[in-house]
């Protein structure tokens, strides 16, 4: 009898770990801001995460544990996390692959913990973590395969999904990356798809103009023939995935310009995603928030002004 009791307690303990919750029963989002980079008003990871955290204060079932400079202060915070979201520079110096962090994340995400990346954070070197990002996020930016022009994307049709609740069609200029390296089963990422038990959903899709495809891109300048050859095709700039292990993931390629957090629709779709990836029920009208011009000026990194 004692052996069965111990076994039962162990099973119960594992179940609780899989449904990580804070002591007061709330869901927990570990939100990581990257190190300062780029000129003022761009890649303001610290200010951006602080602003979004402030907008989530009214959500009763969520705790946001926000960190700066690319990683958490103490990895013990992952023990009761429901999701980890990184808004930072990526590529070879992506916080997820530096200093053994990938192995840490592998163990955390194996518990069914959600994972999200924003803007440059969706880019990794394929040999570093391409397989992992395809598994955890559904896809990633790949240098010279994907591209990063600054252009005005018009999101005229939004799919029925918790992340789009309350979001109205909108248009905004940003460094919207496209042509992600999605899992093969997800095709070009423009339609809902399944890969075994994993479900993929495009959230923000728009059609770049021919001039946008012709470049220049931010870096390298391009144009890339394979990007030009797809003129007229819609592209997905934000997506979600429901993984076979029960965890959730999302990628958001916008977020280059800090002022875009002042756009109610941009802010709402990302706030909704932060709830969804943490397995918090998204309100019927989405997350309500209000941001002023003064709010957007707060907590900006001290950066030298660009020389003209």
Structural domain tally of the chain?
1
Q: Is 278 part of a structural domain of the chain?
A: yes
Q: Which H or E element spans position 172?
A: strand 170-174
Q: In whole angstroms, what is the distance from residue 290 CA to residue 282 CA?
A: 17
Q: Does 5 score more than 50 pLDDT?
A: no
- Contact between 39 and 305 under an 8 Å Cβ cutoff? The reply is yes
Tracing tokens 């395969």 back to the chain, one arrives at 145
Token digits for 88? 């930072």
62: CATH:
3.40.50.880
With respect to residue 11, please indicate whether it lies within any of the assigned structural domains: no
Question: 246 in a domain, yes or no?
Answer: yes
Q: Is residue 134 part of a domain?
A: yes
Q: Considering the domain boundaries, does residue 2 fall inside one?
A: no
- Is 144 among the domain residues? yes
Query: Could you tell me if residue 301 is inside a domain?
Result: no
Q: How far apart are CA 103 and CA 255, in angstroms?
A: 27
For residue 135, give its domain range.
23-296
Inform me whether the pLDDT recorded for 47 exceeds 70. Answer: yes
Name the band, by pLDDT with cuts 50, 70 and 90, for residue 24.
confident
Task: Report whether 116 contacts 238 (CB < 8 A).
Answer: no
Lowest mean pLDDT of 126-140, 171-185, 292-306, name the range.
292-306
Determine contact, residues 282/269, Cβ cutoff 8 Å: no
The answer, yes or no, to whether the previous bond of 145 is cis (omega within 30 of 0) is no
Task: Supply the pTM of this predicted model.
Answer: 0.92
Cβ neighbourhood burial of 126 (10 Å; 0-12, 13-18, 19+): middle
Residue 59 scores a pLDDT above 60? yes
CA dihedral sign, ordered 184, 94, 63, 202: negative
**What tens digit of pLDDT does each residue of 189-223 get?**
999 999 999 999 999 999 999 999 999 999 999 99
Report if residue 9 sits inside a domain: no
């Amino acid at each position: 009898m004692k052996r069965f009791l111990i076994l039962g307690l162990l099973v119960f303990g594992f179940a609780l770990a899989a449904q990580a919750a804070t002591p007061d029963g709330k869901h927990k989002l570990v939100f990581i801001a990257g190190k300062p980079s780029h000129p003022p008003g761009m890649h303001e990871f610290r200010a951006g995460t602080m602003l979004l955290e402030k907008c989530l204060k009214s959500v009763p079932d969520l705790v946001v544990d926000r960190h700066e400079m690319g990683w958490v202060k103490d990895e013990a915070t992952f023990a009761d996390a429901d999701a980890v979201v990184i808004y930072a520079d990526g590529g070879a110096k992506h916080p997820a692959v530096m200093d053994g962090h990938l192995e840490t994340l592998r163990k955390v995400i194996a518990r069914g913990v959600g994972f999200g990346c924003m803007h440059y954070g969706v880019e990794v070197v394929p040999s570093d973590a391409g397989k992992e990002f395809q598994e955890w996020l559904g896809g990633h930016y790949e240098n010279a395969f994907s591209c990063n022009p600054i252009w005005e994307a018009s999101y005229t049709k939004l799919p029925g999904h918790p992340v789009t609740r309350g979001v109205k069609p909108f248009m905004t200029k940003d460094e919207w990356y496209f042509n992600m390296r999605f899992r093969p089963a997800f095709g070009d990422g423009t339609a809902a798809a399944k890969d075994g038990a994993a479900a993929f959903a495009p959230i923000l899709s728009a059609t770049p103009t021919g001039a946008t495809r012709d470049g220049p891109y931010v870096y390298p300048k391009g144009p890339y023939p394979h990007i030009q050859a797809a003129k007229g095709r819609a592209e997905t700039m934000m997506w979600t995935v429901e993984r076979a292990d029960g965890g959730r993931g999302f990628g958001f390629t916008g977020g280059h310009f800090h002022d875009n957090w002042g756009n109610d629709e941009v802010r709402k779709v990302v706030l909704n995603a932060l709830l969804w990836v943490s397995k918090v029920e998204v309100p019927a009208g989405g997350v309500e928030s209000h941001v002023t011009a003064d709010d957007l000026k707060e907590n900006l990194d001290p950066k030298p002004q660009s020389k003209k």
